[in-house]
Chains A and B, each alone.
Chain A
Amino acid sequence: MEATTIQSTRQPEPIILIQETTLTGEEQAQFKKLTLVWLTTALALFPILVILGLLMRGSQAAILKMSPELFYAFMTLHGLGMVGIWYIAGMAGAGLLLSRYVRPSLALSRGVFWATLVAVVLLIVATLIGKFITGWYFLYPLPLYPADVWKPWATLAFFAFLTIAGVAWTLWTVDYLRAIASRYSLKRALAWDVLFKKVKESDVPPMILILTVSLISALAGFLAAVVLIALFAAEALSSGFTNDALLMKNLVFYFGHVLVNITMYLGVAMVYELFPAFAEKGKLTTKWMVAAAWNASLLLVNLAYFHHLYMDFVQPGLLQKLGQIASYLVSVPAGVVTIISVLSLAFGSRMTWRLPSLLFFLGVMGWAIGGMAAVVDSTIVVNFRFHNTLWVPAHFHTYYLAGVVFMILGFAFQYAAELSGKAENLRLGRWLTALLTVGAYGFLSMFFYAGAHSVPRRYAVYPSEVHQGAGYAQVAIVFILLILTGVIIYLWEYGRRCVHAFSAHSH
């Protein structure tokens, strides 16, 4: 990895990390441009979805008055939207990094982009106009009980969104796997040669291992969604066929859990690939510990979702306990391996902290803190009192907002900076990171605190028994405004670089 030497100036040139690819000529230019379009689309939607979150907290804080239908429409759109944008940004970024070793399909990525746009429009129409307000998980049989709130066309639009996005993203996933398979055997991609001690370490980068693990898992998650949608359709179209509520719940959490988990891993893959260069150290290699931890994740990610069903006593007790054990084992090894890698890279490195490396570093920290909160909640006795309280959004917002979102923001900024060649303002980078971090943890702490004080999640307004929730929401609003300010400054800096890159291209 050729990392340019860092000058001790306040405004150094960006280091060139991402740009080299196996693609050539026009195809490479097109691929880079498409990646930028993907990232920019996701980033442009980000502040809008943050504002939806802000409005929801405003309603909970009893500051804003809105109809429950509007609140729950925002909630549905915010949830699916956020998972969606970070998934596509993560996948687009992963595609660019993959293209350094293998050749993902440009045409397919382009097709998926248009399909995604159509899906997004359908989602917005279904939720904001059609008031299809079932929450992201459209838990069976709620979509079949519209109670005059939404019309059949809204249900149709929502399931069309799911189907189009599902098919497009499945194809995207399969294409990445195909690209990896064109260079690496499954044994090497999953580092089984290292795992079974055939070799001491593998020259297949850890990023490939993590992506292979993620993509295979994502495929299983999408297929669970296919089964789910098919069963919904079967019930809607046939007369007399009824689904089993337990099976449907298992399927939706299988799909949802895996998708969210995978998005996190996409960010982690970026960190593995790029952070060593920021720390001015050689690339990470795939050693036994790394191989073992990520293979354990592959094995267990299919079982961890059981923790969503702890309060369904009909689920066999054995699976519940298995869920607790799997939830610990899926996060602890991969987390420890990653955290120690990143810490050891930073330690004594005399690295220059730039915006991307700061966000990567803090993103891993957010993953760890959020992961710890997840582990606490995946303990059945604790879940008995935390399930569907604000503790749940607390933990996943931690590893999303302060975790994978930080990582992807870091990645996107690095990419735009490289393309533009514009100097980086280190001081601004630090202030911006501080703003985002303070905003994020302030906002999150209110979720955690409310969860520990029995405040339920998904409430448009709080009844008197849990009125304390309103106070926490008021405090949270201040911090969300900090986040929003940070995001706007970030987007300004990012946007300037994109514009610069494009105008440089056209010259």
Chain B
Amino acid sequence: MRARFFCTLTLIGCLTMPLAAGKGTSAGLAGQPLKPGIPREDFYIFRKIPDAPVFTLERQTSIYRLLEKGPLLFTLVYTRCNGVCYPMIRSLRSAVERLGGLGTDYRILVLSFDPRDEPEDMAAMARVEGLSGHPHWIFGTTGPENIRQLVASVGYWRQPDSLKQQVNHPAVLIGLNRNGQIVRFLVGASIAPARLAEVIKEMRGEFVPSYPLPRKNVIFSCFQYQADKGLKLNWGFALLLMPGVVTLGGSLWIFHRGAHQRRSAPGGF
């Protein structure tokens, strides 16, 4: 059965390059210029997304009503997905748990882009991911026309794959500020906590003066932020500290060796 999802996974594979844990580089987009069709933050930055009703098992609300209570992390999924959707929710959940701030700084809205999905299906998805009844994770559906508008407004796309009875689609996490404007984009199923931290910072109203672009095979990046924990060390930073540390050790060693000579030399001190 798994072979069915192969196509979706291949796509995801090229969207995400989960490097070793804690590396913080977001989806590596195969280094080359981005292929058209892969949503890129630059094109949608600060655009307002259209309002849409949100139906959950418990209530009916709307995106802008949810935004009144604070910024939203927003993503589109579908419950029959055998590819990226569930892993992404899982990855997001673990990143969010590491970073904190959920409920105070922002909440998470997971909407289905599949008109066949009912609020029950979304509730089931929440249950599968252990987020059932979580006050700050909102799993819901919306109307078919709203789906079309939302998908267009964030450069998202869906490509039905009749052979595999699946829908190919990118994995995108979108940061919305209180005005419903797109603040940041994260592409890929694997949510790097360091990148997510920047999104959260920005949603909270702090300026992030620079961010890394998707790159291939960069192992030694330098500095990474974690929202509440400040600077995070990684291999690049270790390389930067190396000269100082080795020099310290080397100097101590040279003077330690010299001690022997100092004792034996008559003129020594």
A–B touch (CB < 8 A): the answer is: yes
B211 closest partner in A (C-beta): A314
Q: Give Cα distance in the complex from A242 to B231, angstroms.
A: 23
Query: Which of B222, B257, B259 is the most central at the interface, judged by chain A CB atoms within 10 Å of its CB?
Result: B222
The stretch of A247-255, A334-342, A377-385 that contacts the partner chain: A247-255
Q: Is B159 on the interface with A (CB-CB < 8 A)?
A: no
Q: How far is the CB of A442 from chain B (nearest CB, A)?
A: 39
* Assembled-state Cα–Cα distance A226/B209 (Å): 31
CA–CA, A254 and B240, complex, Å: 9
Given A219-B250, A219-B251, A313-B210, A185–B223 Cβ distance below 8 Å?
no
Known: A220-B243, A220-B244, A316-B223. A186 touches B255 (CB 8 A): yes
The distance in angstroms between the C-alpha atoms of A238 and B211, with both chains bound, is 26
SS of A interface (majority): helix
Whether the Cβ atoms of B222 and A244 lie closer than 8 Å is yes
Q: Within 8 Å CB of A182, what residues of B?
A: 258, 261-262, 265, 268
A106 proximal to B (CB < 8 A):
no
* Complex partner residue of A216 from B223, B247, B259, CB under 8 angstroms: B247
Interface residues of B in 122-138 (CB under 8 A from A): none
Q: Name the residue of chain B whose CB is nearest to the CB of A241.
A: B217
Q: Point out the residue from A185, A241, A242, A316 that lies within 8 Å of B269, measured CB to CB.
A: A185
Establish whether residues A223 and B209, one from each chain, have CB atoms under 8 Å apart when the complex forms: no
* A-chain residues with CB within 8 Å of residue B265 when the two chains form the complex: 182-183
Complex Cα–Cα for A244 and B236 (A): 8
> Whole-angstrom distance between the alpha carbons of A177 and B257 in the complex?
11
Taking a contact as CB atoms under 8 Å apart, the answer to whether A221 and B254 are in contact is no
Cα A177 to Cα B249 with chains together (Å): 13
Q: How far is the CB of B209 from chain A (nearest CB, A)?
A: 4
Bound-state Cα–Cα, A227 to B239, Å? 7
Taking the complex as formed, is B14 at the interface, i.e. its CB lies under 8 A from any CB of chain A? Answer: no
Distance of A168 from chain B, by nearest CB (Å):
17
Known: A184-B269, A223-B242. 14 other contacts (CB 8 A): A178-B258, A180-B258, A183-B269, A184-B258, A185-B255, A186-B252, A186-B255, A219-B250, A221-B243, A244-B220, A247-B222, A314-B211, A316-B225, A317-B209
Instruction: List 13 A–B pairs whose Cβ atoms lie within 8 Å, in order of A's numbering.
Output: A181-B259, A181-B261, A183-B262, A220-B246, A223-B246, A227-B239, A242-B215, A243-B218, A244-B222, A312-B210, A315-B223, A316-B231, A317-B209
- Which 5 pairs from chain A and chain B are nearest by CB? A181-B258, A314-B210, A223-B243, A313-B209, A186-B255
Taking beta carbons and an 8 Å cutoff, which residues of B are in contact with A?
31, 209-212, 215-223, 225, 230-231, 236, 239-240, 242-244, 246-247, 250-252, 254-255, 257-259, 261-262, 265, 267-269
